[in-house]
Amino acid sequence: MASSFMFWQFLFFLILFNVFAPIPSETSIPSETPLGSETGTLLRWKASLDNKSQSFLSSWVGDSPCSIWVGIACDEGGSITSLSLRNSGLRGTLYSLNFFSLPNLMWLTLHNNSFYGGLPSQIGNLSKLTFLDLSYNNFFGNIPSEISLLKSLDWISLNRNHFSGHIPQEIGRLSSVSRIYFLMG
C-alpha cells in the first residue's frame, strides 16, 4: 500500500510541475534583456503579432538584434537604426511597439503587410527618423498630430490605408520632408 501511495504522490507532483512550469517560447524575452531595451521592445512587439508573423521573425531570438535578425540594421555602437520589414506578410498592430525605446531609429518601413489599428501618437518619439513608409496596410483612424514631431523626416508614405479625418496641419511644419504620399483608400 505504501508503494501505491508513493506512486500517486509522485504522479501528483509530476502533474503539478507540468501545469505550473514555464513553457519555453521563441518569443520569450531573455531574462538578462532590460525591459526598456531596444531588444526587449522588439521581442515584446513580435510576441504581439500573429503566429505566422512570429514564424517569419524566427531569427528574432536572443539579445543581439544587430547580428542576424531579419529586417534590422544597427550603427557601430549596436543601436538599432533601421526596421525594414516590407512585403513580409506580417499581421498585427503597432500598439505594443514602444517607439520611445528606439531612440536612434532612422528608417521604418512596414510597406505592404497587414498591419491594422490606429497609428500610435508615440510615433512622434522617433526624433531621428528620416524615412517612414507604412503604406499598403490596413491602418485606420486619424493620423496623429504627433507625426509633426518627426523633425528629421525626409520621406513619408502613409498611402493605401484606411485613415479618416483630415491630414494634420502640423505636418506642414516638417520643413525637411522632400516626399510625402497620403493617397487614401
- pLDDT score of 9: 52
CB atoms within 10 A of CB 2: 6
- pLDDT score of 1: 56
More confident residue, 94 or 20: 94
- Cell numbers 503604406: residue: 135
Question: Which uninterrupted H or E stretch holds 52?
Answer: helix 51-56
Q: How confident is the model at residue 171 (pLDDT cuts 50, 70, 90)?
A: confident
Separation CA 107–CA 153 (nearest Å): 9
The DSSP secondary-structure symbol of 86 reads T
- pLDDT score of 25: 40
- pLDDT score of 115: 98
Indicate if the pLDDT at residue 80 is higher than 50. yes
pTM of the model: 0.79
Separation CA 184–CA 133 (nearest Å): 14
